[in-house]
């Protein structure tokens, strides 16, 4: 192996460059840095004797010779001077390299590590600056000197030639380039690839990419060495296979035709699913354009770090596969193709191996090793002169970042939004969403996903306009670029003209005004004409939504779903994490009551790390509180977090899917045990925590009187109650019409529940979808409901409906509805009672 001596006027610089190069080579390459002179006050300078000593020292360890890389001026002279003092046999193995110090040293070190000789390493180093020049060319307007010519070497006489016309649509880029380098690397022969005057080593991905070989170009391979004939045969076969180019590679590339014939006005307009109403215009904030910064941390157990990395890569690939499938289902194969590329990148053993080598060589943690490796790879892509190839840098960072987030788990640095922007992302993971600031997020645009994706649901809950599933828009949207979106039609303008901007801005203003008016109406309490105040609450799914609920005028949270804490991760959240989330939601509600429902999952909504048995009929299986009772540790952890949170805020506990008395008794006993244990351990717990149950199983309605004696409140979940009462799956189109909450059978169950509650003296609330229907509000009050909980967007309308009615009218309406023959008849009654509807 060759060694490297780094010479600079500045010792700090020399040592810094050494550090940089060593980072790339993990100590494999003998290197020494010399710089500065022995003068504390004026340390800048070079000393030929020090250079001499460094060369001799490295030469002793590097059998293939020493490459000397220098900064400028006297460094060159000192290095030359040092040569004069070297013994002839050593001198013959020393080469001074004209490459720029930093770029050249790094390039040379990498070459050295891969076994290059002095000439190869020196040539690679000398061209290292071109990558930089090309990368900056769009900014500086400079072109790299045609120094590819300079490195062109006369082909030896005995070299074999192979001339090929490139048939690949993409030219020698991406996978084809990688395949070429991999194939060439298998042979000992020197393999050069020439296009016109310029030539490159076919073993260097950098050089091959820099050659910019395009479709239709004629290239000439010159192969010289012991296995030249075999190499030529392999190259010929590879070329015949279009260098392994596959259709999905081509599908990703912007086709020249589209660029040429497409109407320029349309190229910047994208359409997706109108996932959340509203308008927005403003600068784009492109998520995951950068990797999070990882602090370098050491690890004494490389084996464990490597295992963690492999697991994280596997988990990331599983995530990608899931997103790919969902995207394919919603938006088709073409939109999902990008995720195939992400998978390809993560499947690349070279990427993984480079990170693993770092872990072992530098004794660092997997996250650091991985982030460095991914960033290097992305930077290499980013430096290429081809727009298509440069775009791949973002993909490397995107899927690399996914692995990083998995590696870091809860320690992953959250996204920090600093200014008003339209968030643009390939897709939004719940963890990303948690970092968004609803106040600063003007809108959301994603390439993947549909109306039911996490981003869409969240955007609606937060009242943020969103267009989800607009494929291709990321390629046209740079960070900070002003874009516009219409969440009513699902349109995104990547480069809106002044007229579009003004139009969308005006629409946004009137939309905001209307919303503001509605929220003003929402803020006032809902009191019926005869003076009965009806608490109107909100349903939320994350602490972030609490603020939205408050803004909408909610007087509390009637249902806080805790599933979000458990989804999209690899292990259940701990007690502290849960405690923090519950307290956060409660504090966002500023002292108003928050009803928190314990984990409500089952075979119909599985969580990957929680074992769920395969059930023939998951809706009739182990779900809700049944699921938790069967997993006491999971359940106890949540209960402890809830009980502790209830000590610092008005938090109430609610159990889902309770179906009989014994079950509730068992649940309450568990809660009591944890309560007592916490108190015994000296932790703050309230004297009593208001505890209630969801009424969503017909059996619970039947024994509501008994259940009411055991708890503090009921809350009716109309969605599940309706499908259980009607024995109709609302997801099954054939029976969906039966599954209507207004069906008199369902209404009678609601009335029964309310009577039981009244008899026991406990309030009955409703947190199902029906509660958010303004038209149904008088009916629900008439049936005996005391509180209604709904999505934030429904608050104002429902409050208006409550204000417009009175107790007598409500009861009369309820009587008629209970006696009606069908859901349709009930709806007619509701309409008749509200002429405006």
Residues that bind another protein (CB under 8 A): 37-39, 42, 44-50, 72-74, 77-78, 80-81
Residue (of 642, 657, 656, 655) closest to 689 by Cα position: 642
* Structural contact between residues 220 and 162, judged by C-beta atoms closer than 8 angstroms: yes
Q: Tokens for 28?
A: 């494999």
CB of 134 to another protein, least distance (A): 23
DSSP string over 193-236: EEETTEEEETT-HHHHHHHT--TT-EEEEEEESTTHHHHHHHHH
**How far apart, in whole angstroms, are the C-alpha atoms of residue 627 and residue 648?**
28
Burial letters 681-702, b for 16+ CB under 10 A, else e: eeeebbeebbbbbbbbbbebbb
CB of 80 to another protein, least distance (A): 7
Residues whose CB is less than 8 angstroms from the CB of residue 604 and which lie 6 or more positions away in sequence, other chains included: 618, 619, 621, 623
Residue (of 618, 588, 582, 620) closest to 603 by Cα position: 618
Annotated catalytic, 399?
A: no
Distances (CA, A) of 515 to 480, 526, 562, 800: 27, 18, 28, 14
CB of 68 to another protein, least distance (A): 14
- Cα 558 to chain centroid distance, Å, stands at 30
CB of 3 to another protein, least distance (A): 23
**How far apart, in whole angstroms, are the C-alpha atoms of residue 665 and residue 709?**
11
Angle between helical axes of 302-331 and 333-347 (0-180°, round to 10)? 170
* Structural contact between residues 110 and 25, judged by C-beta atoms closer than 8 angstroms: yes
**How far apart, in whole angstroms, are the C-alpha atoms of residue 71 and residue 762?**
82
- Cα 419 to chain centroid distance, Å, stands at 20
Which of 84/163 has CB closer to another protein? 84
Q: Environment class of residue 143 by beta-carbon count within 10 Å: exposed (0-12), middle (13-18) or buried (19+)?
A: exposed
Distances (CA, A) of 507 to 284, 487, 550, 642: 19, 11, 25, 43
Which of 44/648 has CB closer to another protein? 44
Which of 52/323 has CB closer to another protein? 52
Which of 10/481 has CB closer to another protein? 10
Which of 73/731 has CB closer to another protein? 73
Which of 81/224 has CB closer to another protein? 81
- From the candidates 399, 538, 767, 810, which is the catalytic residue? 767
CB of 136 to another protein, least distance (A): 19
Which of 72/630 has CB closer to another protein? 72
* Structural contact between residues 448 and 234, judged by C-beta atoms closer than 8 angstroms: no
Residue (of 786, 777, 772) closest to 833 by Cα position: 777
- From the candidates 9, 173, 454, 675, which is the catalytic residue? 454
Which of 75/291 has CB closer to another protein? 75
CB of 17 to another protein, least distance (A): 19
CB of 145 to another protein, least distance (A): 18
Which of 60/72 has CB closer to another protein? 72
CB of 41 to another protein, least distance (A): 8
* Structural contact between residues 215 and 171, judged by C-beta atoms closer than 8 angstroms: yes
Annotated catalytic, 454?
A: yes
Strands (E), 571-655: 594-597, 651-655
CB of 86 to another protein, least distance (A): 15
* 756, HSE (Cβ side, Cα atoms, 13 Å): 25
Largest pairwise CA distance in the chain: 111
**How far apart, in whole angstroms, are the C-alpha atoms of residue 95 and residue 83?**
9
The residues annotated with a catalytic role in the active site are 454, 767
């Amino acid at each position: 192996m060759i060694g490297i001596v780094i010479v600079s006027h500045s010792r700090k610089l020399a040592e810094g460059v050494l550090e940089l190069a060593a980072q790339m080579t993990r100590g494999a390459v003998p290197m020494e840095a010399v710089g500065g002179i022995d003068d504390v006050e004026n340390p800048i300078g070079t000393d030929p004797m020090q250079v001499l000593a460094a060369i001799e020292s490295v030469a002793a360890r590097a059998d293939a010779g020493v490459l000397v890389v220098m900064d400028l001026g006297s460094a060159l002279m000192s290095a030359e001077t040092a040569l004069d003092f070297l013994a002839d046999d050593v001198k013959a193995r020393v080469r001074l390299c004209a490459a720029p110090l930093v770029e050249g040293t790094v390039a040379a070190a990498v070459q050295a590590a891969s076994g290059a000789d002095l000439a190869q390493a020196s040539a690679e180093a000398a061209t290292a600056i071109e990558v930089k020049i090309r990368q900056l060319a769009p900014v500086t307007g400079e072109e790299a000197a045609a120094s590819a010519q300079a490195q062109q070497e006369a082909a030896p006489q005995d070299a074999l030639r192979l001339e090929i016309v490139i048939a690949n649509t993409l030219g020698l880029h991406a996978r084809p380039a990688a395949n070429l380098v991999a194939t060439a690397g298998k042979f000992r022969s020197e393999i050069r690839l020439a296009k016109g005057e310029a030539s490159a080593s076919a073993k260097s991905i950098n050089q091959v990419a820099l050659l910019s070989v395009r479709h239709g170009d004629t290239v000439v391979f010159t192969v010289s060495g012991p296995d030249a004939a075999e190499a030529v045969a392999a190259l010929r076969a590879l070329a015949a296979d279009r260098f392994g180019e596959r259709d999905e590679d081509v599908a990703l590339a912007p086709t020249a035709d589209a660029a040429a014939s497409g109407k320029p006005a349309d190229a910047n307009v994208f359409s997706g699913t109108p996932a959340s109403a509203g308008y927005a215009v403003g600068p784009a904030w492109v998520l995951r354009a950068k990797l999070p910064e990882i602090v370098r941390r050491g690890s004494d157990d490389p084996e464990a770090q490597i295992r963690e990395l492999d697991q994280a890569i596997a988990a990331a690939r599983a995530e990608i596969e899931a997103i790919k499938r969902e995207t394919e289902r919603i938006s088709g194969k073409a939109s999902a193709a990008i995720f195939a590329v992400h998978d390809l990148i993560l499947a690349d053993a070279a990427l993984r191996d480079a990170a693993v080598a770092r872990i072992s060589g530098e004794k660092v943690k997997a996250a650091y090793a991985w982030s460095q490796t991914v960033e290097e790879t992305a930077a290499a892509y980013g430096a290429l002169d081809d727009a298509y190839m440069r775009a791949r840098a973002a993909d490397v960072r995107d899927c690399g970042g996914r692995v990083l987030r998995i590696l870091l788990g809860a320690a992953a640095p959250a996204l920090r939004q600093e200014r008003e922007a339209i968030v643009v992302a390939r897709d939004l993971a719940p963890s990303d969403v948690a970092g968004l600031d609803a106040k600063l997020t003007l809108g959301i645009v994603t390439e993947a996903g549909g109306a039911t994706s996490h981003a869409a649901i969240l955007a609606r809950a937060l009242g943020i306009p969103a267009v989800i599933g607009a494929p291709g828009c990321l390629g046209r949207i740079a960070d900070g670029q002003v874009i516009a979106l219409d969440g009513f039609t699902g349109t995104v303008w990547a480069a809106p003209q002044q007229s579009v901007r003004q139009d969308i801005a005006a629409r946004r203003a009137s939309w905001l005004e209307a919303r503001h008016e509605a929220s003003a109406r929402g803020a006032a309490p809902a009191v019926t004409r005869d003076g009965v105040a009806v608490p109107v609450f909100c349903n939320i799914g994350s602490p972030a939504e609490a603020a939205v609920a408050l803004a909408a005028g909610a007087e509390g949270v009637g249902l806080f779903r805790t599933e979000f804490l458990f989804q999209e991760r690899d292990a259940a959240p701990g007690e502290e994490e849960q405690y923090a989330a519950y307290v956060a939601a409660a504090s966002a509600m500023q002292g108003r009551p928050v009803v928190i429902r314990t984990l409500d999952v089952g075979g119909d909504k599985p969580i990957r790390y929680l074992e769920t048995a395969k059930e023939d009929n998951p809706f009739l299986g182990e779900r809700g509180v049944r699921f938790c009772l069967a997993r006491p540790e999971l359940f106890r952890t949540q209960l402890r977090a809830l009980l502790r949170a209830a000590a610092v805020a008005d938090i109430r506990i609610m159990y889902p899917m309770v179906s009989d008395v014994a079950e509730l008794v068992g649940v309450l006993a568990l809660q009591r045990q944890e309560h007592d244990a916490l108190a015994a351990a000296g932790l703050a717990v309230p004297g009593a925590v208001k505890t209630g149950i969801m009424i969503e199983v017909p059996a619970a309605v039947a024994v509501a009187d008994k259940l009411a004696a055991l708890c503090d409140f009921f809350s009716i979940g109309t969605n599940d109650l309706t499908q259980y009462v009607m024995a109709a799956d609302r997801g099954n189109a054939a029976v969906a019409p039966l599954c209507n909450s207004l069906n008199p059978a369902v209404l009678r169950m609601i009335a029964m529940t309310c009577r039981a509650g009244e008899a026991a003296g406990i309030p009955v609330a409703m947190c199902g979808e029906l509660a958010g229907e303004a038209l149904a509000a008088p009916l629900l009050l008439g049936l005996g409901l005391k509180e209604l909980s709904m999505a934030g967007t429904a608050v104002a309308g429902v409050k208006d409906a409550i204000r417009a009615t009175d107790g007598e009218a409500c009861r009369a309406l309820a009587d008629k509805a209970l006696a009606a023959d069908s859901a349709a008849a009930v709806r007619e009654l509701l309409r008749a009672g509200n002429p405006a509807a």
